[in-house]
């Protein structure tokens, strides 16, 4: 058997794509997921251990049973809007959950962890293209939980020699190019699947959260990056850790910004369906622009996104969405 990787939250969107990529690279991904937000049918490339991230005993049992060389930690709640209304769950799952995992890793002498962080740690960025050195100033509770977890990793590195990489994703988009897995949240709050729901006739319209931001069309700018390219970056980051490097962080994005309205138009082009939009007030916690400078990941991980066009991302997402929800269009 090749090397084993424990993937917490491996039944979720980015986690499952990473499991597929790990498997293609010769690793056995062992998924640790409680399936509250993950999908059992996304676990296809290795065993599933069903457990809560807060259950340190159960994590220790999984680490003992499978002796992984590394952990990739996705298990978390990830809705910006919800985070404000449910701080208890966000601090529990994202902060206490990470601590529970680190405790289990320390007791089991597992030394390498790749952490699923977010551009939300930056908050209101002062530059157009954000570099990793940009200070953390999250404006959402979700972003705060990710920033706190990153601090924990640094402290564990200093005190116990734990090796870690934090990957700060910008906006994950698309689906597996072979159509095996894709994006499916319940409830759905993310822009692209909601737009595809409108195209599929599963929703009547999309609410656009504010058109009075300082951008050309007044809507928020985000940096969309294909989920298969994110998965590839995880494998690269983990291999760097296994070679003995420690404590780094990388921005993962395309380096290009698209507004919400540009997304609406692109979805119309790909699906050939007119999208009905409704302008609503701004959503708390939204930064007006989050676009990355991906040069560190390019230089140090040799990461080169394969699918850089928005059309490719939407095309893969649309293909999967129709299959998942039995859309006849
Ligand atoms: N957005 C929107 N309407 C929606 C969902 C999202 O206008 O129903 C906007 C949101 O304000 C943000 C962008 O789309 O500017 C991407 O939001 P999403 O929730 O997909 O990802 P986030 O940037 O919060 O991680």
Question: What are the pLDDT digits (tens) for 206-249?
Answer: 999 999 999 999 999 999 999 999 999 999 999 999 998 777 99
Which residue in the block uniquely carries the two structure tokens 């809560």?
A: 52
pLDDT for residue 328 is more than 90: no
Given this model, what pLDDT does residue 281 score?
97
How many CB atoms sit inside 10 A of residue 186's CB?
A: 7
pLDDT for residue 200 is more than 90: yes
Q: What is the CATH number of domain 191-222+255-291+298-324?
A: 3.90.25.10
Helix, strand, or coil (residue 25) = coil
The domain at 4-170+225-252 falls in which architecture? 3-Layer(aba) Sandwich (3.40)
Q: Which two tokens stand for residue 76?
A: 């978390």
pLDDT for residue 329 is more than 90: no
Mean pLDDT of 305-327: 95
What residues does each domain of the chain span? Answer: 4-170+225-252, 191-222+255-291+298-324
Q: Give the number of the atom of ligand 1 that is nearest the alpha carbon of residue 263.
A: 14
pLDDT for residue 180 is more than 70: yes
Measured in angstroms, how far is the CA atom of residue 191 from the centroid of ligand 1? 5
Our answer on whether the CB atom of 190 is closer than 6 Å to any ligand 1 atom is yes
Residue nearest to atom 19 of ligand 1 (CA): 190
Given this model, what pLDDT does residue 70 score?
98
Measured in angstroms, how far is the CA atom of residue 197 from the centroid of ligand 1? 14
- The overall average pLDDT reported for the chain is 96
Radius of gyration of the chain (CA): 19
Residue nearest to atom 2 of ligand 1 (CA): 208
**Number of Cα atoms under 13 Å in the Cβ half of residue 272:** 1
pLDDT for residue 1 is more than 90: no
Measured in angstroms, how far is the CA atom of residue 178 from the centroid of ligand 1? 26
Our answer on whether the CB atom of 220 is closer than 6 Å to any ligand 1 atom is yes
C-alpha–C-alpha distance, residues 183 and 170, integer Å: 15
Residues annotated as part of the active site: 142
C-alpha–C-alpha distance, residues 119 and 210, integer Å: 20
Our answer on whether the CB atom of 282 is closer than 6 Å to any ligand 1 atom is no
From residue 19, give the alpha-carbon distance in Å to each of 15, 38, 76, 208, 238: 6, 13, 17, 33, 12
Given this model, what pLDDT does residue 245 score?
77
Tens digit of pLDDT for each residue in 150-175?
Answer: 999 999 999 999 999 999 999 999 99
Q: Do the Cβ atoms of 282 and 209 come closer than 8 Å?
A: yes
Mean pLDDT of 168-191: 96
Measured in angstroms, how far is the CA atom of residue 234 from the centroid of ligand 1? 24
Spatial CA neighbour of 69 closest among 244, 250, 251, 252: 244
Mean pLDDT of 103-119: 97
Mutual orientation of helices 141-160 and 97-108 as an angle, nearest 10°?
A: 20
Strand pairing category for 171-173 and 28-33: unpaired
Q: Which two tokens stand for residue 325?
A: 């929800």
Q: What is the pTM of this model?
A: 0.97
Tens digit of pLDDT for each residue in 244-294?
Answer: 877 799 999 999 999 999 999 999 999 999 999 999 999 998 999 999 999
Whats the size of the chain, residue-wise?
A: 329
Mean pLDDT of 77-106: 97
Tens digit of pLDDT for each residue in 57-87?
Answer: 999 999 999 999 999 999 999 999 999 999 9
């Amino acid at each position: 058997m090749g090397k084993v990787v424990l993937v917490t939250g491996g039944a979720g969107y980015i986690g499952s794509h990473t499991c597929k990529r790990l498997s293609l690279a010769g690793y056995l991904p062992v998924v640790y997921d409680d399936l509250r937000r993950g999908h059992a049918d996304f676990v296809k490339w290795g065993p599933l251990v069903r457990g809560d991230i807060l259950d340190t005993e159960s994590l220790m049992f999984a680490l003992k049973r499978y002796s992984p060389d590394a952990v990739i930690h996705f298990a978390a709640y990830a809705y910006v809007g919800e985070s404000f209304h449910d701080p208890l769950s966000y601090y529990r799952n994202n902060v206490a959950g990470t601590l529970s995992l680190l405790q289990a890793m320390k007791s089991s002498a597992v030394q390498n962890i790749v952490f699923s962080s977010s551009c939300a740690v930056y908050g209101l960025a002062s530059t157009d293209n954000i570099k990793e050195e940009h200070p953390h100033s999250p404006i959402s509770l979700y972003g705060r939980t990710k920033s706190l977890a990153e601090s924990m990793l640094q402290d564990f590195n200093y005190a116990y020699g734990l090796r870690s990489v934090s990957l700060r994703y910008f906006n994950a988009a698309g689906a597996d190019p072979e159509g095996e897995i894709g994006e499916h949240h319940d409830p759905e709050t993310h822009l692209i699947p909601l737009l595809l729901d409108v195209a599929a006739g599963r929703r009547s319209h999309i609410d656009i959260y504010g058109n009075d931001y300082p951008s050309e069309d007044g809507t928020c700018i985000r940096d969309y990056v294909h989920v298969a390219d994110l998965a590839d970056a995880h494998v690269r980051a983990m291999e760097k850790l296994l070679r003995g490097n420690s404590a780094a962080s990388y921005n993962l994005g395309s380096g290009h910004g698209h507004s919400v309205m540009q997304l609406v138009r692109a979805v119309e082009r790909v699906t050939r369906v007119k999208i009905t939009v409704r302008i609503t007030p701004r959503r708390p916690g939204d930064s007006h622009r989050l676009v990355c400078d991906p040069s560190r990941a390019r230089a140090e991980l040799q990461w080169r996104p394969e699918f850089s066009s928005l059309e490719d991302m939407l095309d893969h997402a649309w293909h999967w969405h129709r299959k998942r929800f039995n859309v006849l269009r």
